């Protein structure tokens, strides 16, 4: 297979003459192709089969020990002006970016096969979907793209019909961190990535295309590309509300998206539409609708067990690729927090020795098709997407943020999103557990200047009167000893229920300078082992702490200079003034 679409054929030829692969293979996306690649990777040692009796069609990939997470310091946005990329991004001019990375691509695929992967982000027949083509020398990338996207012949047909696609050029190179770069050229609709085979660095449809490139297109075209899960909540009366939630990396999106209702909330059902990315458009009636551009999950493994999330636990017992987990003596995958079995070999394939650290890497991941999920919603394939009732921001905050609060209006909601701060996690290389600003959970993923991004968010009320309400949640508040105050996981539905009740105007709330808080008793805690004091602590606002936080955010805005929208500054100052007036 090749293509009748000349610009694509020409680009593939150009990449091939630069990188010199031994052969070129156009992916069709068939099951047979997937099985063949899995077979070949077992022969080459890139994958190993896990216990096929207990984990049928599950395989393990151990990455290079220096290549285990996203590399934000090596990720660049290449635009003519540095201002356009903004202080939230690393910047290079397009000329410098190409020169730097092209030198590394020179001959990089020698001795290897170059795979051409046409893919479609979003349902194949949705007007909201966008296509791309990734060329890569990694068969591991191909099988992951097969699970994560609509990949192969149907996508190619759409590209030939539409006449446009995002170009993604990837090579694992020599995996030397000194020769690793992820470059984005938003105005050329192109991505070049070399030196990593891991997740968001290498599966270019995901963060590179569906967030960084798409966020730039979304701004130009009047929509939003966000780091959000999409889920449906069906109440016992059979009514379903859809919500979209933005939490930073490894802060609970996958778990929330496939939550299992606790026994105390009989009759509720949860439907998963997406666990990581949402594309949001206004429809003809002015409602915000979401599609999930992906069709699979690349999820955090550690912590997954029958108590935290039985759905996720079951989902990854078959047809799953594991990356960087440990293994038991009888070749089952193992990770910290699995609660059953014990590790014999660690994530580097060595005999497990507790003295050399964790058995599974903290950012070890599973890749599965979304249809593996017991709570998969068929609407994930609906071309028109689903209408969104609420947008929910969140993060890991040991102290500051209450369990839940509601923004007063859209402008305040944009402030709430823009001021998301969260403790860093193992999803990116760097120190873990330090609080950093992560506006809308998009710090690593917004392809342009945050100041312009906030202005774009703020422009929505001019276009519709039907915007969803905006909330903030925090499952991670801790006591003095570092214990989580809130049980989390399935019990989070109690909080989501309050959010839906607010959207339906079924419940009151207390107005504070930082937003609306639940009234005493309005979050149902029946059957929960949680004291009224703890509940009050979870819903309390420490005014002094909030003043400091608000001031920090004001200082952070200064870093974006005159580009910061006036309305956002005014809203931050309004909150500051009201905090000053409260006791
Ligand atoms: P990315 O895929 O990196 O974007 O992350 P994500 O937001 O999908 O994170 P995920 O759901 O995979 O959760 C990451 C970690 O948070 C896991 O170790 C979970 O066990 C933990 N976690 C998820 N939900 C909760 C919760 O409600 N409470 C607590 N305490 N931990 C949680
Ligand atoms: C994240 O880090 O937010 C992820 C994992 O979802 S990766 O695909 O590696 O970016
Ligand atoms: Mn993510």
pLDDT at 356: 92
C-beta 421 within 6 A of ligand 2: no
Q: How far apart are CA 210 and CA 122, in angstroms?
A: 10
As a whole number, mean pLDDT of residues 11-26 equals 98
For residue 411, CA distances in Å to 458, 471, 534, 577 come to 6, 12, 31, 16
pLDDT at 1: 62
pTM equals 0.98
C-beta 252 within 6 A of ligand 2: no
Best residue among 250, 300, 301 to mutate for probing ligand 2's pocket (most ligand atoms within 8 Å of CB) is: 250
Mean pLDDT, the chain, as a whole number? 97
DSSP state for residue 34 in the 8-state scheme:
H
C-beta 207 within 6 A of ligand 2: yes
C-beta 298 within 6 A of ligand 2: yes
pLDDT at 434: 87
Best residue among 147, 148, 196, 200 to mutate for probing ligand 2's pocket (most ligand atoms within 8 Å of CB) is: 200
96-129 confidence digits (pLDDT tens): 999 999 999 999 999 999 999 999 999 999 999 9
pLDDT at 105: 98
Residue 227 alpha carbon, nearest atom of ligand 2: 3
As a whole number, mean pLDDT of residues 69-87 equals 97
Q: Which residues, 6+ apart, have CB-to-CB distance to 558 below 8 Å?
A: none
476-508 confidence digits (pLDDT tens): 999 989 999 999 999 999 999 999 999 999 999
C-beta 276 within 6 A of ligand 2: yes
Please answer whether residues 224 and 231 qualify as being in contact, where contact means their C-beta atoms are separated by less than 8 angstroms: no
As a whole number, mean pLDDT of residues 257-272 equals 96
As a whole number, mean pLDDT of residues 57-81 equals 97
First CA to last CA across the chain, in angstroms?
A: 71
Max intra-chain CA distance, the chain: 72
Best residue among 69, 207, 227, 250 to mutate for probing ligand 1's pocket (most ligand atoms within 8 Å of CB) is: 250
Reply yes or no on whether the pLDDT at 433 is more than 90: no
Within 10 Å of residue 560's Cβ, how many Cβ atoms? 19
For residue 442, CA distances in Å to 131, 180, 190, 394, 449 come to 22, 22, 20, 12, 11
**CA 78 – ligand 1 centroid, Å:** 32
DSSP string, 42-98: HHHTS-EE--TTTSTT-EEE---TT-SSB-GGGEEEE-SSHHHH-TTSEEE-HHHHH
C-beta 394 within 6 A of ligand 1: no
Please name the residue whose Cα sits nearest to atom 10 of ligand 2.
200
Residue 415 CA neighbour count, 13 Å, CB half: 25
Q: How far apart are CA 134 and CA 465, in angstroms?
A: 39
Q: What length does the chain have?
A: 583
205-215 confidence digits (pLDDT tens): 999 999 999 99
C-beta 380 within 6 A of ligand 2: no
For residue 547, CA distances in Å to 159, 187, 403, 405 come to 51, 40, 19, 17
Reply yes or no on whether the pLDDT at 52 is more than 80: yes
**For 151-192, what is the HEC assignment?**
ECHHHHHHHHHHCCCEEEEEECCCCCHHHCEEEEEHHHCEEE
Which two three-digit tokens encode residue 538?
Answer: 């979870």
Q: How far apart are CA 317 and CA 373, in angstroms?
A: 11
Of the pLDDT bands very low, low, confident and very high (cuts 50, 70, 90), residue 173 is very high
**CA 339 – ligand 2 centroid, Å:** 25
pLDDT at 435: 87
Please name the residue whose Cα sits nearest to atom 3 of ligand 2.
249
**CA 473 – ligand 1 centroid, Å:** 13
Residue 70 alpha carbon, nearest atom of ligand 2: 9
Residue 276 alpha carbon, nearest atom of ligand 2: 6
Reply yes or no on whether the pLDDT at 582 is more than 90: no
Residue 203 alpha carbon, nearest atom of ligand 2: 8
**CA 59 – ligand 1 centroid, Å:** 23
328-353 confidence digits (pLDDT tens): 999 999 999 999 999 999 999 999 99
Within 10 Å of residue 98's Cβ, how many Cβ atoms? 18
Which two three-digit tokens encode residue 309?
Answer: 């999330």
As a whole number, mean pLDDT of residues 453-459 equals 98
Catalytic residue ranges: 251
As a whole number, mean pLDDT of residues 413-429 equals 94
DSSP state for residue 444 in the 8-state scheme:
T
C-beta 472 within 6 A of ligand 2: no
As a whole number, mean pLDDT of residues 17-36 equals 98
Q: How far apart are CA 532 and CA 520, in angstroms?
A: 9
Best residue among 68, 203, 252, 335 to mutate for probing ligand 1's pocket (most ligand atoms within 8 Å of CB) is: 252
> Which of the pair, 433 or 1, is modelled with greater confidence?
433
C-beta 173 within 6 A of ligand 2: no
What CA dihedral angle connects 548, 437, 496 and 287, to 10 degrees?
Answer: 110
């Amino acid at each position: 297979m090749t293509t009748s679409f000349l610009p694509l054929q020409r680009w593939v030829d150009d990449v091939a003459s630069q990188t010199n692969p031994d052969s070129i293979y156009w992916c069709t996306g068939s099951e047979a192709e997937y099985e063949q690649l899995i077979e070949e990777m077992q022969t080459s040692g890139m994958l190993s089969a896990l216990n096929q009796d207990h984990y049928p069609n599950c395989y393990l990939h151990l990455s290079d020990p220096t290549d285990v997470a996203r590399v934000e310091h090596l990720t660049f946005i290449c635009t003519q002006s540095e201002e356009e990329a903004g202080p939230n991004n690393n910047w290079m001019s397009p000329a410098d970016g190409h020169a730097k990375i092209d030198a590394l691509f020179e001959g990089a695929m020698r001795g290897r096969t170059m795979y051409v992967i046409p893919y479609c982000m979003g349902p194949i027949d949705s007007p909201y979907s966008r296509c791309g083509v990734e060329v890569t020398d990694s068969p591991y990338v191909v099988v992951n793209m097969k699970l994560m996207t609509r990949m192969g012949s149907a996508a190619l047909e759409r590209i030939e019909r539409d006449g446009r696609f995002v170009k993604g050029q990837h090579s694992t190179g020599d995996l030397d961190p000194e020769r690793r770069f992820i470059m984005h050229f938003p105005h050329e609709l192109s991505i070049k990535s070399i030196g990593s085979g891991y997740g968001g660095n290498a599966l270019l449809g995901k963060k590179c295309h569906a967030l960084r490139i798409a966020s730039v297109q979304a701004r130009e075209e009047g929509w939003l590309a966000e780091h959000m899960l999409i889920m449906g909540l069906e109440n016992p009366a059979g009514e379903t509300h859809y919500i979209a939630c933005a939490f930073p990396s490894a802060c609970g999106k996958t778990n929330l998206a496939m939550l299992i209702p606790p026994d105390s909330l009989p009759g509720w059902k949860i439907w998963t539409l997406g666990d990581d990315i949402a594309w949001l458009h206004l429809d003809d009636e002015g409602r915000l609708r979401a599609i999930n551009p992906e069709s699979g999950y690349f999820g955090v493994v550690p912590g997954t067990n029958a108590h935290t999330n039985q759905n996720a636990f079951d989902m990854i017992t078959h047809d799953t690729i594991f990356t960087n987990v440990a293994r038991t003596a009888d070749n089952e995958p193992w990770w910290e927090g699995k609660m059953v079995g014990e590790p014999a070999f660690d994530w580097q394939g060595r005999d497990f020795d507790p003295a050399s650290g964790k058995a599974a890497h903290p950012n070890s991941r599973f890749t599965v098709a979304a249809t593996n999920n017991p709570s998969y919603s068929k609407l994930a394939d609906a071309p028109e997407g689903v209408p969104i009732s609420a947008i929910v921001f969140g993060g890991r905050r040991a102290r500051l943020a209450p369990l839940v609060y509601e923004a007063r209006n859209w402008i305040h909601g944009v402030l709430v999103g823009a001021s998301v701060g969260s403790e860093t996690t193992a999803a990116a290389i760097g120190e873990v557990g330090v609080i950093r600003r992560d506006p809308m959970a998009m710090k690593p993923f917004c392809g342009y200047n945050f100041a312009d991004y906030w202005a774009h968010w703020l422009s929505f009320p001019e276009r519709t009167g039907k915007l969803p309400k905006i909330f903030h949640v925090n499952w991670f508040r801790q006591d003095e000893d570092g214990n989580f105050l809130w049980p989390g996981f399935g019990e989070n539905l109690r909080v989501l229920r309050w959010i839906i009740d607010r959207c339906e105007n079924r419940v009151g709330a207390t107005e504070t300078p930082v937003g609306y808080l639940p009234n005493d008793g309005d979050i149902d805690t029946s059957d929960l082992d949680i004291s009224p004091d703890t509940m009050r602590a979870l819903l309390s606002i420490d005014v002094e702490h909030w003043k400091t936080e608000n001031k920090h955010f004001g200082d952070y805005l200064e870093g974006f200079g005159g580009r910061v929208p006036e309305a956002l500054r005014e809203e931050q100052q309004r909150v500051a003034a009201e905090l000053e007036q409260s006791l």
